[in-house]
Amino acid sequence: MGILVFMLSIFIGCGGSSDDSDDELLKAPTNLEIEAIIKGVDASNPNGDGSGEVQFIFSAQNAKLYKLSLGNGEIIESTASSINYTYTGSGIQNFDIYISAYNGAKYISKSISITVKINSGLVWSDEFNTDGAPNSSNWTYDLGAGGWGNNEAQTYTKESSNVIVEGGLLKITAKADGNGGYTSTRLKSQGLKSFKYGRVDVRAKLPASQGTWPAIWMLGDSFSTVGWPRCGEIDIMEQTGGDKETTLGTLHWWNTAGSNNASYGTTTAVANSTSEFHIYSLEWNENSLKIHVDDVEFFAMNNSADLPFNDKFFMILNIAMGGSLGGNIPNDFSQSTMEIDYVRVYQ
């Protein structure tokens, strides 16, 4: 009888050990962590390279399953500790991410927010990787003097002293000509490349000298038939000659009701615009036009059917001298350069 009781106690002890294991399996997860790594993030691309690719890395103690709500209506389950996901769409988008770590019916949750740059598809670019004159398949020129409607002081040329591609950069240089005048370049894609809607990115470093008026802008293809401002003008980036720590974004069009030039513009601070590269961007569709510097929006205006911003537009890159925005040119002005790393159009 004593032996039988001893054997029963051993059996009960083993069963107790199994119950402890079940309790361990049913513990609620703890210490949930999640990290989002957006592809291509750097100083010039704070919200990524436009691919929309994000790696999510997560962990929690006692977790057997993770569920991620990705902020766009999609939910993914994973037993691994990371997933790679590509967001689609266009522009700079914000996503609220919710993650839950499960152990059976018990769970713990956490949330983070991310901002991702998404370019739906690159349709054209010039990376300026071939030294010499700008690619004639992409660019032509406005040439000559005459003030260009703004009392500007330069004569536009296509000479290599004013425009050249070298070292992966397009360089437009405004120069004193030694006779009291100035030369520069106005490069345009008119008749070669034009676009309706999408996103335009131009990575550029601006000229440092007072008196220079750099611009990255667009005119409607109808310019040659209806003229300005009926064709519409989109100024992605302009900078005055007197303030090299600010850039402007502006739209111009013809106000039919008032029979006058209409415009709307705003400014943003870019303290190191002449010493560092920044990305000047336009997001444009049938509903709105938005302008960013380094993916930070500072300009927005509604689009509508009665405005000219529903047609194709071509690109213009130039430095003017003096005039209505360039202002006074220093007596000792010698030369100053705008460098452009790339022009990219996404749709």
Burial 287-318 (b: 16+ CB within 10 A, else e): eebbbbbbbeebbebebeeebbbbeebbbbbb
CB neighbour class for 140 (10 Å; exposed up to 12, middle 13-18, buried from 19): middle
Question: Which residues are marked as active site?
Answer: 233, 238
pTM of the model: 0.78
Residue 120: band (very low, low, confident or very high) from pLDDT cuts 50, 70, 90: confident
Nearest CA to 120 out of 278, 259, 285, 271 is that of 285
Q: Does the pLDDT of residue 270 top 60, yes or no?
A: yes
CATH number for the domain whose boundaries are 29-118? 2.60.40.10
Residue 83: band (very low, low, confident or very high) from pLDDT cuts 50, 70, 90: very high
Nearest CA to 124 out of 340, 333, 341, 344 is that of 344
Residue 80: band (very low, low, confident or very high) from pLDDT cuts 50, 70, 90: very high
Using the 8-state DSSP alphabet, how is residue 46 labeled?
A: T
Contact 208/275 with Cβ under 8 angstroms? yes
Q: Span 10-39, mean pLDDT?
A: 67
CA distance 276 to 272: 6
Residue 8: band (very low, low, confident or very high) from pLDDT cuts 50, 70, 90: very low
* The predicted structure's pLDDT at residue 13: 38
Contact 197/347 with Cβ under 8 angstroms? yes
Q: Which two tokens stand for residue 172?
A: 């437009």
* The predicted structure's pLDDT at residue 90: 80
CA distance 89 to 47: 14
Range(s) within the chain of domains with CATH label 2.60.40.10: 29-118
Residue 5: band (very low, low, confident or very high) from pLDDT cuts 50, 70, 90: very low
- CATH number among 3.90.1150.10, 3.40.50.720, 3.40.50.2000, 2.60.120.200, domain 122-346: 2.60.120.200
CB neighbour class for 43 (10 Å; exposed up to 12, middle 13-18, buried from 19): exposed
Contact 200/281 with Cβ under 8 angstroms? yes
Please list, in sequence order, all residues whose beta carbon lies within 8 angstroms of the beta carbon of residue 326, skipping any fewer than 6 positions away: 152, 153, 211, 212, 213, 240, 241, 320
Range(s) within the chain of domains with CATH label 2.60.120.200: 122-346
Residue 322: band (very low, low, confident or very high) from pLDDT cuts 50, 70, 90: very high
State percent of the chain over pLDDT 90: 84
Residue 22: band (very low, low, confident or very high) from pLDDT cuts 50, 70, 90: low
